[in-house]
Amino acid sequence: MTLGKLLRLVGQNLRRNARNFAFSSVGIVVGIATFIFFVGLGEGVRTVVMDKIFVYNQLEAIPRSYDVGAFRAEGGLFGGTRLNDATVEELRGVPGVRGVYPKLRLTFPARASGGKELMGKNFYTELIADGIPERVVTDLPDPSRFRDWEGGEVTCDAGCPDGSVCGEGARCVKQTCTPPQRDRDGAAAADPCPGKSYCAADTRQCELPIPVIANPRLLEIYNGSVHTAMKGSKGALAQVPRLSTTALEGLHFNVTFGKSFIGSAARGEPIERRCELVGFSDKAITLGVTMPIGYVQRFNGTFGSEERGDYHSLLIETSNNEAVVPVAAYVTDRLNLALDDKYENAQKAGLIITIITAIFSLISIVIVTIAAINITHTFLMVIAERRREIGLLRALGATRPNISAMILCEAVVVGALGGALGCGLGLGVAAGADAAFARFVQDFPFKPDTLFAWNPAFFAVAVGGAVFFCLLGALLPAARAANMDPAAALTGR
Amino acid sequence: MIVFDRVSRSYGRGKGQHVALKELSLTLEPGKFTAVVGTSGSGKTTLLNILGGLDREWTGSLRFWDQPMESLSDAALSALRNTQIGFVFQHFYLLDHLTCAENVQLPSYFDRRPPRPDQAARAEELLRKVGLGGRAGDRPTQLSGGQRQRVAIARALFNQPRLILCDEPTGSLDRRTGLQIIDLFQRLVEQDGLTLVVVTHEEHISRMAHRIVRLEDGELRSNEVNTPAAAEEG
């Protein structure tokens, strides 16, 4: 029997027994819908947790610390690899590593103030900041804005930046200025420096703001927690708006380096500089701001403690999630470095999500298995009803494999249709869950737009699984139909 | 030529064993109408099932135009049924969800030979031949008993078989309609040279055959050449 004829026969049989098969495929539809719903939910939650909360494919290597009595010692003293340029180069050569970015923290107190143009009044805070090479920040709308303006001489060829003029040797020279005086109310006169530059009190030169970036998670935490919590407060705080990356880009604020609310730097006189938020990037420190590493090196040289010039941590980006474990093993076992808590937490979260997804997938498989048993019963019933017909087909020349193929093909069609309907139902329920989630669940940090993530492989597995279970359910009926004695079937014996 | 040589068939085992055919030896000539008669349980249908390749649990030898049926595999036997044997049953066994034309074409589904381009036309031609021209698109439920049996006959003829096996073909029809059906069979035998074996317990039907084989308790009681009566006389 050709495939075309087989399909024609199957189509005729399915149309005739549509009600029976529709009833028996309910279990398949429900099972597959459950599978699709929970696998999509698991993947969605995993995406949020791994890509947004933990950024799983980014590891941060830090010196290993040891608790010795009441003290904690770090790194090289006990044989750990130093976080220097040699280590950066070694890590860049490890398979699965896409990039390695050294990070350097400020090692002295600093504080920041600003935000009046956004909030209506200035806010003051301790400043936590670190520095990374500017070339690694590529995910900004304009990466060229994240630049160390003090990192070397600027030639006049490309035009001098705001506050500089072309001087001797075709090099840009900062303009001198007189800092604007403040009146009795504390209001400052107009700044004499052009463009974005401002007149720094200590250098009496026009300086460009230090470009800084922030982590999008900081914004999430603000919008999800601070903004929600402040709604019920008195005064100006109750008016704080939800913030977006675009609203914040270009924000200027002042930083006092060498002095904070807690204390002052051991060395150097505090200075005030202006910073400009030039964008948001996953490469930035989670709580605080990140600036080009050159600024941090210079400030640490002026205000910080004497150190041997190592980095504080190395941000390691892997090419994919699969490379995370081997790269992590290399960092911890070969280089004897530690990984920050994020990695361990990400692993735990990933494990929990996997277990929960597996449990619900198992439940859906149980449902589909029960449905397969139901399919078996339906097919046995249908075959009993079609006993004479099968006898007739045998009399007309159908072989045993023809009969078997006919029953199994019916099962494939029932499975494929049931699987497709199950996928549709799963997607529909997921859309409903998303709508309910968006409407009834309050904002929280990292609240996703959707709880689900879909991969074409899910649907292939779902429909394939439905077909497989239907085939499994139809095996016995198909064998029974194929082995039916045609003479007995025709005479009703 | 169909030759039965000591063909036996029994059902069950031990004390409960029932012998349906006992060492039957019989020759059926091609192009003739043979009626197999006998009382209920005499072995008529068993003989028909064995001859049609529907029953394989028998002993002895059966040659179907030089093919030893006892040695044919299930697939070969299926092919033989499909291409060389046409069946007509008492209860017609038409598929109600198919049209008459589709029912007639059913044997083509299992035909391993290259498909004929004119299958639908052939089905309609056969329906015309059995007196049902214009009813190709009707469902069997829209037809009378006699008309349904004609559709079944057209289906039996579709693959141009050598042998037509009929099990009580008029058993569900009134006498007049039954005679019309037998008349149709007679014409097919005469015009197309078909070999026809009809199992019946109706004497007036058997009188229209060229040979009357009488079975009793699974044994051949008589095997007589007959001068067929015309359907009108029956």
Q: Do A398 and B115 touch (CB under 8 A)?
A: no
Is the pLDDT confidence value at A411 over 70? Answer: yes
Backbone angles phi, psi at A292, to 5 degrees: -55, 140
Q: Do A396 and B83 touch (CB under 8 A)?
A: no
Last residue of a domain, one of A296, A316, A340: A340
- What's the domain count of chain A? 2
Across residues A27-48, what is the average pLDDT? 85
Based on the fold, state whether residues A354 and A261 are members of the same structural domain: no
Would you state the pLDDT for residue B219?
Answer: 92
Please tell me the distance in Å from A349's CA to the nearest CA on chain B.
Answer: 57
pLDDT in tens, B143-169: 988 899 889 989 998 998 999 999 888
Closest CA to A34 of A286, A363, A486: A363
Based on the fold, state whether residues A204 and A101 are members of the same structural domain: yes
Q: Do A15 and B89 touch (CB under 8 A)?
A: no
Question: What ipTM, to 2 d.p.?
Answer: 0.90
pLDDT in tens, B72-100: 999 999 999 999 999 998 888 999 889 99
> How confident is the prediction for chain A on average, in pLDDT?
84
| Torsion angle, alpha carbons of A366, A372, A377, A378, to 10 | 130
Interhelix angle A387-395/B74-84, rounded to 10 degrees, is 80
Q: Do B89 and A490 touch (CB under 8 A)?
A: yes
Across residues A458-478, what is the average pLDDT? 89
Question: Is residue A170 in some structural domain?
Answer: no
Question: Is residue A421 in some structural domain?
Answer: yes
Would you state the pLDDT for residue B234?
Answer: 44
Q: Which residues of A touch B115 (CB under 8 A)?
A: 2
Closest CA to A31 of A415, A486, A290, A475: A415
**Any B CB within 8 A of A5 CB:** yes
Q: Which of A15, A399, A402 to mutate to test the interface with B (most CBs of B within 10 A)?
A: A399
Last residue of a domain, one of A281, A309, A340: A340
pLDDT in tens, B22-56: 999 999 999 999 999 998 888 998 999 999 999 88
Which residues, in sequence order, are CB contacts of A146 under 8 Å at separation 6+?
A134, A137, A140, A211, A213, A278, A279, A292
Q: Which of the residue ranges A10-24, A235-249, A438-452 has the most confident prediction, judged by mean pLDDT? A: A10-24
Is the pLDDT confidence value at A78 over 60? Answer: no
Across residues A40-60, what is the average pLDDT? 76
Q: Do A486 and B111 touch (CB under 8 A)?
A: no
Would you state the pLDDT for residue A446?
Answer: 65
CA distance A336 to B1: 93
Q: Do A397 and B111 touch (CB under 8 A)?
A: yes
Cβ atoms of residues A379 and A471 within 8 Å: no
Cβ atoms of residues A37 and A43 within 8 Å: no
Q: Please tell me the least confidently modeled range out of A290-294, A339-343, A402-406, B185-189.
A: A339-343
Q: Do A396 and B89 touch (CB under 8 A)?
A: no
Closest CA to A489 of A349, A402, A388: A388
Classify A115 in phi/psi space as left (phi over 0), alpha (psi -120 to 50) or beta: left
Would you state the pLDDT for residue A323?
Answer: 82
Would you state the pLDDT for residue A352?
Answer: 80
> How confident is the prediction for chain B on average, in pLDDT?
88
Based on the fold, state whether residues A419 and A360 are members of the same structural domain: yes
Based on the fold, state whether residues A470 and A401 are members of the same structural domain: yes
Question: Is residue A101 in some structural domain?
Answer: yes
pLDDT in tens, A217-233: 888 888 877 777 777 67
Count the neighbouring beta carbons within 10 Å of the beta carbon of residue A255.
24
Would you state the pLDDT for residue A287?
Answer: 86
Question: Is residue A163 in some structural domain?
Answer: no
Read off the tokens for B168: 């009580």
Based on the fold, state whether residues A199 and A81 are members of the same structural domain: yes
Closest CA to A74 of A296, A328, A82, A104: A82
Is the pLDDT confidence value at A478 over 60? Answer: yes
Based on the fold, state whether residues A50 and A195 are members of the same structural domain: no
Across residues A143-154, what is the average pLDDT? 86
The b-or-e profile of A5-26 (16+ CB within 10 A means b, else e) is bbeebbeebbebbeebbeebbe
Would you state the pLDDT for residue B227?
Answer: 84
Q: Which of B93, B99, B167 to mutate to test the interface with A (most CBs of A within 10 A)?
A: B93
Question: Is residue A419 in some structural domain?
Answer: yes
Would you state the pLDDT for residue A55?
Answer: 64
**Any B CB within 8 A of A399 CB:** yes
Q: How confident is the model at residue A186 (pLDDT cuts 50, 70, 90)?
A: low
Q: Which residues of A touch B154 (CB under 8 A)?
A: none
pLDDT in tens, A92-110: 999 999 989 888 989 899 9
Q: Please tell me the least confidently modeled range out of A94-98, A241-245, A460-464.
A: A241-245
Q: Which residues of B touch A485 (CB under 8 A)?
A: 55
Closest CA to A27 of A461, A431, A373, A380: A373
Based on the fold, state whether residues A379 and A329 are members of the same structural domain: no
Q: How confident is the model at residue A81 (pLDDT cuts 50, 70, 90)?
A: confident
Is the pLDDT confidence value at A474 over 80? Answer: yes
pLDDT in tens, A25-37: 888 888 889 889 9
Question: Is residue A164 in some structural domain?
Answer: no
Which residues, in sequence order, are CB contacts of A396 under 8 Å at separation 6+?
B81, B82, B87, B106, B107, B109, B110, B155
Question: Is residue A178 in some structural domain?
Answer: no
Is the pLDDT confidence value at A401 over 80? Answer: yes
Q: Which of B21, B54, B153 to mutate to test the interface with A (most CBs of A within 10 A)?
A: B54
Could you list the residue range(s) of the whole structural domain that residue A446 is in?
3-54+348-491
Based on the fold, state whether residues A14 and A111 are members of the same structural domain: no
Instruction: Tell how strand B59-64 and strand B67-68 pair up.
Output: antiparallel
CA distance B89 to A346: 73
Is the pLDDT confidence value at B233 over 50? Answer: no
Based on the fold, state whether residues A463 and A406 are members of the same structural domain: yes
Last residue of a domain, one of A340, A363, A378: A340
Q: Which residue in A1, A16, A388 is closest to B93 by CB distance?
A: A388
Q: How much of chain B, in percent, has pLDDT values that exceed 70?
A: 97
Closest CA to A214 of A121, A158, A284: A284
Q: Do A389 and B97 touch (CB under 8 A)?
A: no
Would you state the pLDDT for residue A71?
Answer: 56
3-state secondary structure of A349: helix
Q: Taking CA atoms, what residue in B is nearest to A483?
A: B74
Based on the fold, state whether residues A302 and A359 are members of the same structural domain: no
Q: Please tell me the least confidently modeled range out of A166-170, A282-286, A292-296, B228-232.
A: B228-232
Question: Is residue A162 in some structural domain?
Answer: no
Cβ atoms of residues A179 and A205 within 8 Å: no
Based on the fold, state whether residues A318 and A382 are members of the same structural domain: no
Based on the fold, state whether residues A117 and A143 are members of the same structural domain: yes
Which residue type, as a one-letter code, is found at position B4? F
